[in-house]
Structure formats: C-alpha cells, structure tokens
Structure 1
Amino acid sequence: MKSIVCLHSLTPDQIGQIGQAAPGFDLIVKNKKDVSAEQIQNAEVILGWSKTIAEEALREYSKLKWVQTWSAGVDTLPLERLRDKGVLLTSASGVHAIPISESIIGMMLSFSRQLHMAVRHQLKKEWKSDLAVPGLGTLGEISGKTLVIVGVGEIGRETARLAKAFGLRVIGVRRSDKPEPHVDRMYKMDNLHEALGQGDYIVNILPLTAETRHMFNAAAWNAAKKGAYFINVGRGPTVDTASLINALNSGRLSGAGLDVFEEEPLPAEHPLWEMEQVIITPHVAGSNDRYAERVIDIFADNLKAYVQGQKPPRNLVDYGRMY
C-alpha cells in the first residue's frame, strides 16, 4: 500500500481529513525520532521535513514523490537533491498571513506608543512618563504614516489590509507591479530603493534566495527615509546584520523589530539584545493555535489532486526561484 509519513502530531479530525482525501494511502504519524528508516524509504508522500530523514528519503531507491512542508519557507531543505530526484515540493505558504500581519502591526504600534520601553521600565519598577528612546523623539501615532511592504504575497496583502484600517498609506514592492486592493502603489524589485525612501515603516517579508541574500544592506539603509523603522519577519539572511546595527547606531533607522536573524538562536552576547530601539521575538511571528489546522487544509487540497494524478495546486515550489 502507498504510504504518507507525517512528522507532526495530528488530531483525530485531521487524520480523518487526510484519510478522506486519500483513501488508498496508509497514514503513518510519527515524530522524526521514532519514524523508522524503512518507513521513510517507503513513503511516497512526506508531510513535514527534518534533516534527520533526508538521507533515507533521498536514497536512489526510495519511493518519495512529494514533500509537503510544515513551513512556508523552503530555503533550509536540500532543494537541489529534491529537484534532481524529481520530487514535487509544496510549502505551507499562506498559513502565516493572520498571525504575522498582526505581529507586524503590533511592532509598529509598540514603536509608535513606545510600549517596548514601558515594559523595560516596568521590569525595573520605574515610573517614567517620558518613554521615548533618547534622541528618537516622543510618543507618536501610525495614522497618516507610510508603510513599505517588501514582498507582497499572502502576508503582505493581509498586512496592507490592516494598515489601511489604521490610516496608513501603503506602498508595495515585489517581482510584479500588478496592483493590489489595499496597496496605494506597487513597485517592482528593481525600484526597491525608491520605495524605501518613502517609508516611515519598512517591512521585509521576502523569502531567502540567491537574489535576496543581504538585500537589506548599507545601500538600502542609505536609500531609506531617515528615521524609518525596520521590521523583519521574512528571513534573517536577507539582512546584512552588521550594516543594520550601524544604521541603528547612527540614527539612520529609529528602530528595528526583528523576528528572524542571520544566526538563530541569536547568541546571548549579540549587541542587538542590548539596544533599546530594538524589539526581538524568537522566530515566533507566525506561530499560533491554528497553525496545524491551516497546514492540513492546504495538504488535503493538494492531496485530493495528487491522488487523481494531478500536480498539487497550492504552493507548488519553483526550484529555480527557490519558493
């Protein structure tokens, strides 16, 4: 019998959902430590991924034909080996739109209302009505400001929708300049620096590719509007961290909200920890209590097509673009 190996916990309802989509498949639900080499080698479909299963899954004689990741990003997977083996790869892109967009708005509000400084004073039991970071102004508001979203996909669209409700002007940047309902103006990636020069808040939602690595560098900060806030919920290596720290120290940027980093976990001795104008979250912007539910919805839709001999319709990764 053909088999599906899932490396993540599932509820009985989710198991039933997969069973209805692929009644002719045996579903094996085990974590990466308990699944056997034989089960991986015989799996036609793998839901999730781990470095620990890579060698068995990619052996010449393994039966693997399709991997559905549990994550939106695929840059940590062995893309060349999967491509060379002819494996279909689909991501969980789209599951993060609501939690990440809410995290973005939360960081923007925190900077505007200096909530991150209020928490620091609270921990010290200090009553300070002047919450502003020295040299970076006073309490403000996001209404009337301009938000630049770099990488307008599912997350960017939802962020733009929320931003309009707060009265922001929204500029988008992506490969295509095709208009979006809540984006006032869309730029192509070639015009990134022109767009950055208009943003009071700059949000990076780019995937990691050869083209996007260190795209946010000294030249980008110099092109950005002086005093802008930068928020990164895309991929850590799309940012040159050393140049980011320089931009923050010089006042070129007023602050940074960072959920992802070039090195994770961020080392305890890293200077970003000590910077008052920086908000750090440990790569959790996309986490929430509905994550698994949304992944399984994507997987079930793809699975229904797959068992009928069709390519998965949702989030099929283009190996050339790496997303």
Structure 2
Amino acid sequence: MAEFTLGTMLGHVKQMAALARNERDEVWDRKLPMEELRGKTLLVLGIGASGGEIARLAKCFGMNVAGVNRSGKDAAGGDRIYSISQLSEILPKADFFVSVLPSTVETRFLLKKEHFAAMKDSAVFINIGRGDLVEEVLLSVLKTDQISHAYLDVFANEPLPKAHPFWKMENVTVTPHHSSITKNYLPRSFEIFKHNLHTYIKNNKDYINVIDLERGY
C-alpha cells in the first residue's frame, strides 16, 4: 500500500498519464510541466502501520508529513500528529491527502464538504482505506473542481458500477481495490499467521496486528 501510494504521487507530479497519452498520439512535448515531491506536504489520515510506512517512504523523497489519528498522540513517521478533531486545521496545508482509514462507525462518511472546501484547489486526494469514508460528497467536490485530482482505489460499492460518473471524469483515476495486492501479500500474511499461531499455542502475548473488536480494526 505504501509503494502504491508513493507511485501514485510520483505519477501525478511527473504527469505519467499525460506522457502516456502523448506517446499513444505520437506527440513530442517537452513543455509538459513537471513537479517534484520534495518540499510538498503529505497528510496521512490514519497513520497506523500502513500509514506510517507511507510516511516513512514519503520522507525519503523530502516531503513534509503530517499524520492524523484518533488521539493526536505521537505515531511513527509523521513530523507532527493531529487528532481527528484537528483535521480541518491541517487540511489547508496539504498537497496530498491520503486516507488509510478502515470502515467503522466512527469513520463512515467522516469527510464532509467543508473538509474539501478547506483544501487547496491544487490538492490531490488518495483513498486506499475504505470507500464509505467520503464517496457521496466526493462526487460533487470533483464536479466543481474544488481539488485537482482524486485517486480512488476503494468504493462504498465494489465493483464500481460501469455507469458511475467516476469512470469518465478526467480528474479521477479509478483502480480496482488493488493497492495491497502483490505476489508478496499472502506470504507475508502467512508469516504473521504462523507467528500468532505459535504465540497462541505457547500461551504468550506477543501477537502481531492485534484487532480491537470494539474499534473495528
């Protein structure tokens, strides 16, 4: 998920979609504007294990990284951590806003119109968490160009219906809930399962990726 997010951000600043179109159309255009990730601000909503890895890689590219979690307590990777209640405070500074939040009672439709209204019109939203964080609001936000682009890997209803407007919108990139899928995904998962199984058998407590059933993640 972290590499997917970094690839998405790099593809955006390096205009990879436009370059691919130019190649298809046999257009040689050296005036296509390019940017860098260095110096840009990334806001990670849900800076836990996955969000922390995104933050770590982003800092390798010289990005400023802010994180948001439930409490605002320190978390690995972020230069500064904010609580959910402080989200609107940091949103105006974000060049890239990525959500890694799970779907819980607290996070469903968490993002409102006012959150996107607080963002730069050049800002980019990336959702690799869960689609029910925002989807109903996001369509109107993108139709009115309140932000520059949305890269959406998750949706409230999957697969995304063929008639959905997101498919045809130039400021939306749709991917099929694919950010975590690599050939290494299952081997890593089995290693965690193996560790936790042995921990259970030995009646120890050093489990990996423990889920809080009340929180839902």
Report the TM-score when normalising by structure 1.
0.63
Specify the code of the residue in structure 1 equivalent to 2:112: N
CA distance in 2, matches of 1:276, 1:119: 14
Match of 2:12 among 111, 130, 135: 111
- Work out the CA distance in 2 between the residues paired with 1:268 and 1:280: 11
Structure 2 counterpart of 1:235: 130
The more displaced of 291-300 and 114-123 is 114-123
1:275-314 correspondence runs (5 A): 275-310=169-204, 313-314=207-208
| Stretches (4+) displaced over 6 A | none
Task: Kindly report which structure 2 residues correspond to 1:135-146, keeping only aligned pairs within 5 A, or say none.
Answer: 138-146=33-41
Q: 1:127 aligns with which of 19, 22, 27?
A: 27
Match of 1:187 in 2: 82
Q: Does the 8 Å CA contact 1:303/1:312 hold for their aligned counterparts?
A: no
Counterpart of 2:60 in structure 1 is: 165
Query: For 1:286-308, what per-residue CA distance to the aligned partner results, in whole angstroms no more than 9, with x for missing partners?
Result: 01111111111111111112123
Partner of residue 106 from structure 2, selected from 211, 214, 219: 211
What whole-Å deviation, never above 9, does each CA across 1:143-201 have from its counterpart, x for those lacking one?
11100000001111111111111111100000232334531110011111112121010
Please list the CA deviations of residues 247-278 of structure 1 after superposition, one character each: whole Å capped at 9, or x if unmatched: 22222110011111111111111111111222
The answer on whether the counterparts of 1:306 and 1:312 sit within 8 Å (CA) in structure 2 is no
Matches within 5 A, 1:1-323: 100-123=1-24, 125-127=25-27, 129=29, 138-239=33-134, 241-310=135-204, 313-323=207-217
Paired with 2:210 and 2:118, the residues of 1 have a C-alpha distance of 34
- Cα deviation, 1:40-83, whole Å, max 9, x if unaligned, reads xxxxxxxxxxxxxxxxxxxxxxxxxxxxxxxxxxxxxxxxxxxx
Q: Percent identity?
A: 40
- Name 1:24's counterpart in structure 2: none
Please state how far the C-alpha of 1:223 moved relative to its aligned partner. Answer: 2.3
| Runs (5+) with no aligned partner, structure 2 | none
Q: Find the aligned partners of 2:204 and 2:57 in 1 and give their Cα distance.
A: 36
Count of residue pairs brought into register by the alignment: 217
Q: Give how far 1:141 is off.
A: 1.9
Deviation at 1:118, TM superposition (A): 2.4
Could you tell me which runs of 5 or more consecutive residues in structure 1 were left unpaired when the two chains were aligned: 1-99, 133-137
Change (3 A) 1:260 1:288: same
Q: Distance in 2 between matches of 1:210 and 1:312?
A: 28
Whether the aligned pair in 1 keeps the contact of 2:48 and 2:75 (CA below 8 Å) is: no
Q: Distance in 2 between matches of 1:312 and 1:322?
A: 20
Which one-letter code corresponds to 2:166 in the other structure? L
